[in-house]
Amino acid sequence: MNKYETVKDYVYSQYAKINLESLRIEAISHTSQVDLCITQLAMARDIDIETAKICALLHDFAQFTKNCSHAEHARISSIVASKYLEETGLFTQEEMDHIAYAIGQHSHKEAYNDPPLCECLKDADLMARFFVDPKMELSGTKKQRLLDACADLAR
Ligand SMILES: [Fe+2]
């Protein structure tokens, strides 16, 4: 997984430079937790694992490195990810488009109709948050999303 390793080294090297310790810890821990969750979900759903893991690595990149608003973080992370992936020269246009789209949509957890990679990222993000805080309040849609994701893993 050469592409994954390249992106992972870059993302974590950038996160290691975050000055505020609590934000640095949150960036590294949340990203690695989403990476673990998406690996399991991608395997269960027959989605390309390396592509899914790269989505996890970059999904909140702008939030952690550019201090953007939460409302804008998915859209801006998608733009930043796209630019970075292009610079690596390792990805096809189609791969970059799929990854950027999934990142850009990942905040819309109430919507179910996105492509499988995108839904996988939403589920992994929610799962990771839930595993850290199992007492978190979940709305009807998010609760169902989490239950469905757990059911996919149990199959
Ligand atoms: Fe996010």
Distance from Cα 93 to the centre of ligand 1, integer Å: 23
Kindly write down the DSSP assignment for every residue of the chain, as one continuous string: -HHHHHHHHHHHHHHTT-SSHHHHHHHHHHHHHHHHHHHHHHHHHT--HHHHHHHHHHTTHHHHHS---HHHHHHHHHHHHHHHHHHHT-S-HHHHHHHHHHHHHTT-TT---S-HHHHHHHHHHHHHHHHH-TT----HHHHHHHHHHHHHHH-
Q: What is the pLDDT of residue 155?
A: 80
40 C-alpha to ligand 1 centroid (Å):
19
**What is the CA(99)–ligand 1 centre distance, in A?**
14
Task: Round the CA-based radius of gyration of the chain to a whole number and report it.
Answer: 15
State in Å: Cα 46 to ligand 1 middle: 23
| 142-154 confidence digits (pLDDT tens) | 899 999 999 999 9
CA of 144 from ligand 1 middle (Å) equals 19
* Mean pLDDT taken over the chain: 95
Ligand 1 center from residue 107 Cα (angstroms): 6
- How far, in Å, from the CA of 130 to the mean position of ligand 1? 14
DSSP characters over 15-46: HTT-SSHHHHHHHHHHHHHHHHHHHHHHHHHT
Q: Is the pLDDT of residue 10 over 80?
A: yes
Closest-CA residue to 77 (of 113, 98, 97, 103): 103
For 70-107, write each residue's pLDDT tens digit. Answer: 899 999 999 999 999 999 999 999 999 999 999 999 99
Residues 54, 46 contacting (CB under 8 angstroms):
no
Q: CA geometry: angle at 23 spanning 21 and 24, to 5°?
A: 60
What's the gap in Å between 88 CA and the centre of ligand 1? 23
Q: How far is the CA of 60 from the centre of ligand 1 (A)?
A: 5
